[in-house]
Structure 1
Amino acid sequence: MSALVPRSALALALVLSACGGDTKTAPKTDEKKVEAKAEAKEEPATDAAKKPRPRAPASEKSRVADPKGRVVVVGSLNGDLAATKAALKTAGAIDDAGKWTGGDLVVVQLGNQFGNNKDEKATLALLDDLAAQAQAAGGALYRLTGENEILNVALNFKDIVHAQGFKDYAKEKSDDPRVESLPANQRGRAAVFASGGPVAKKLSEQKLILVAGDSAFAHAGLLGEHIQKGIDNINDESTKWMLGEIAMMPDMLAAPGPARTLASAATSPPARSSSRPSPIWP
């Protein structure tokens, strides 16, 4: 984020400039100018600077503490451990050993932590570890929900899960009809990712839209209709769906076009297709 000179500092500089000069030797013809400068000094020029910068329309539920230091945004990781480490190291967040060295740095990861890579589980473990380290150091690592997280909870694993991603959860069991309807090799993963399952519950803690100070973050972007619906409402719907408190996938998790329609993303229960853009689908 670029650094701006505070308006209060600029106002102070102007005031100091106005007060400069030797008034004893100033010509009489300049008295009016000096008077004008004095009046300018008396004006509450710093009042505007005291006003806080606009904040995105969200309550504390969708908002995190205002960043103290730098903010770095990291895009999709797709379960790629090497790429994840490289990105975080470039950002100054970790060292060669994968330990947090960012201090009060804030990293916002924009979703798609999961992906078609054999190192997916190790990538997630690293992010969990770093989030704890960052918090202890006065920084933060926030993870948002992206399309891959949504598809996993919807039990649509096509093209987004590596073979190892099924083996990692092969021993997990569930008598959920949604799980039983899937091929045998997918049931272990489905048991933990289905809404209400342990991984889905953990994912429910992530936001679709995160607000920090005067900035809002989302996987694919925000439109006016999202603001009108309410950032808190969108996040709440996603959370409730992942927890299994509502059966139908919310409209705001739907795709904008036929290539990624809601019906193709969700395997159960009955779903409504939608062509409206969402914070998840670009």
Structure 2
Amino acid sequence: MKSAPRRGPTGLRAHPDLGRTRPPCRRATVQGRPASLLEGRFAREAARFHASRRRSAERACTSNGNERASGESGSASGGSSPQKTKAGSSSAPLSQSTFIKTDSRVVAIGDLHGDLQKTVAALKLAGVLSVSPDGAPVWCGGDTVIVQLGDILDRGDHEIQILHLFLRLKEQAKLRGGDVFLLNGNHESLNICGDFRYVTSGGFLESARVAGLPPEMAGRFQAQLKARVALFAPGGPIAQELANSYVALQINDTVFAHGGIMPHHVDYGLGRLNDEMSGWMRGEEGARSPIVAMGSPDSVLWCREYSREQWNTQVDRGRSCALLTKVLSELGANQMVVGHTPQERGCNAECDGKIWRIDVGMSSGVCNAAAQVIEIQPPAEEGARSQIRVLRAEGAYEAPLSRRKGMTG
């Protein structure tokens, strides 16, 4: 007799991948300031930032809808960045900036899952974050381009604060020739769908505070739940901010996605995926959740085809690498960078360096591993390959890691 499918708290059918056991994690000693102190350091600045965005949104909602703020044209990456409206939403389809050329250094950051301390550690490893005397985050990365691969949400207490930290840094980076690009992960899509099973008590409390609930209400779970639904439902304030994040992005010869790009995703169109996800999150009339992006184990946000640290057989490895090679060839790219699946040995590469897996499980809600990021230097000349190295507290290394060669990270 078949058992009934598991369902989330909202009655939605659970994704088949959710039943899988998370791989064992390396435990890392947490160093530096406690998260509570980091929260205090940035909380005031984050509150001011969110309040300013909320006031801008309110002004936009009361306007005639035709008045637009003039966003900055162009970007550090040499492509056309989406312009910003007063509400902080994109006035140009994301498909217009899905493929970007840049001469700048690119740093990719994996899953963060609500851990502010590890987010700060990752940004400092990237060399783009400093703190002003009054505790405000300051971009110090010049023309560096940051790509965060999704899963900011769930498993940690400071999700929205992290999102607004990245948005604030993006504003500063663009003034200095840099940029910050965010991708959506499967946990972003879960929250937009109203599936809050991985939200921590601190995450619910943060939602209540961001929604502006008075202290006497913010501590009540029902009020917290209603606040989170209002923030994250399609068209809600946080959903509209996430609507500016990508499903897939290509910078020079490197493709970025949370789970992975399969051949049928290329056929469907990466720009189309970005626009459909964005429209759904904005709550546009007639918009539906894009199945190709988030609806099955081989969708962009859930794919683990390229993330296995050890394939069952060499035939399986060959199949995955062949699929990857086909995708990269069709996109004119040399490598792909993915998150989603925690890697016990840290950031590593497979398939002769064509796939980089950079989810190291750094959040205290996942593996509590030490922060790592990868740095991508642009190709030296047309047709050349970008140079990639891993940045970590112990130092950097450039050689792709391979279990087959007996190397560990």
Distance 1:253 1:60, change over 3 A: closer
1:279 aligns with 2:279: no
C-alpha spacing 1:155/1:201, structure 2 compared with 1 (3 Å): same
Match of 1:113 in 2: 152
**Are the aligned partners of 2:157 and 2:206 in contact in 1 as well (CA < 8 Å)?**
no
2:182 to 131, 143, 151: 143
8 Å CA contact retained: 2:152, 2:163: yes
> What residue identity is the alignment partner of 1:251?
I
For 1:163, the equivalent position in structure 2 comes to 201
Q: Deviation per CA, 1:129-176: give whole Å up to 9, x if none.
A: 1111111111111101111110110010002x1212222333759xxx
> Secondary structure of the equivalent of 1:83?
helix
Residues 1:190 and 2:229 aligned together: yes
Q: Which of 241, 253, 266 matches 2:293?
A: 253
Q: Which residue in the other structure is 2:106 paired with?
A: 71
Count of aligned positions:
197
> In structure 1, what residue type is equivalent to 2:125?
T
Greater alpha carbon shift after TM alignment, 226-235 vs 118-127: 118-127
Partner of 1:176: none
SS in 2 for 1:167: helix
Distance in 1 (alpha carbons) for counterparts of 2:123 and 2:155: 20
Are the aligned partners of 2:207 and 2:224 in contact in 1 as well (CA < 8 Å)?
A: no
Q: Residue deviations 1:168-221, cap 9 Å, x none?
A: 333759xxxxxxxx9554111101110121211121111101122232211111
Q: 1:227 Cα deviation (Å)? A: 0.4
Q: Which residue of 1 aligns with 2:264?
A: 225
Partner Cα separation in structure 1 for residue 172 and residue 204 of structure 2: 29
Aligned-partner Cα distance in 1 for 2:252–2:204: 39
The code of the aligned residue for 2:170 comes to A
Give the conservation status (yes or no) of the 8 Å contact 1:62–1:231. no
Distance 1:60 1:237 in 2: 10
Give the greater-gyration-radius structure (CA): 1
Does residue 242 (structure 1) correspond to residue 284 (structure 2)? The answer is no
Question: Alignment partner of 1:76: what SS?
Answer: coil
- Is residue 80–residue 119 contact of structure 1 (8 Å, CA) maintained in 2? yes
SS in 2 for 1:61: helix
Q: Deviations over 1:49-82 (max 9, x none)?
A: xxxxxxxxxx961436422221111001112111
Measured at CA, do residues 232 and 243 of structure 1 come closer, stay the same or move farther in structure 2, by a change above 3 Å? same
* Letter of the structure 1 residue corresponding to residue 230 of structure 2: A
Unaligned runs of 5+ in 1: 1-58, 174-181, 258-276
8 Å Cα contact 2:208/2:223 also seen in 1: no
What amino acid is aligned across from residue 77 of structure 1 in structure 2? L
CA deviation profile, 1:253-275 (whole Å, cap 9, x unmatched): 33544xxxxxxxxxxxxxxxxxx
SS at match of 1:164: helix
**Which structure shows the higher strand fraction?**
2
Give the counterpart letter for 2:299 in structure 1: S
Counterpart residue number, 1:125: 164
Task: Work out the percentage of aligned pairs sharing the same amino acid.
Answer: 37
| Matched-pair contact (CA < 8 Å) for 2:114–2:158 | yes
**Conserved 8 A contact 1:204-1:243:** yes
CA 231–112 in structure 1, closer or farther in 2 if over 3 Å, else same: same
Root mean square deviation, CA, Å: 2.4
* Aligned mates of 2:155, 2:163 — CA distance in 1: 13
Kept in 2, the 8 Å contact 1:62–1:209? The answer is no
Q: Distance in 2 between matches of 1:122 and 1:240?
A: 24
The yes-or-no answer on 1:103 pairing with 2:142 is yes
Per the alignment, residue 128 of structure 2 pairs with: 93
Task: Report the equivalent of 1:262.
Answer: none
Residue identity in the other structure for 1:167:
L
- Tell me the secondary structure at the aligned position of residue 142 of structure 2: coil
> Match of 1:72, as an amino acid?
V
CA–CA distance in 2 between the matches of 1:240 and 1:60?
12
CA distance in 1, matches of 2:129, 2:121: 9
Structure 1 residues 10-58: Cα deviation after superposition (integer angstroms, max 9, x where no partner): xxxxxxxxxxxxxxxxxxxxxxxxxxxxxxxxxxxxxxxxxxxxxxxxx
Quote how far apart the aligned CAs of 1:96 are: 5.3
TM-score for both structures, normalised by structure 2:
0.45
Unaligned runs of 5+ in 2: 1-93, 213-220, 304-409
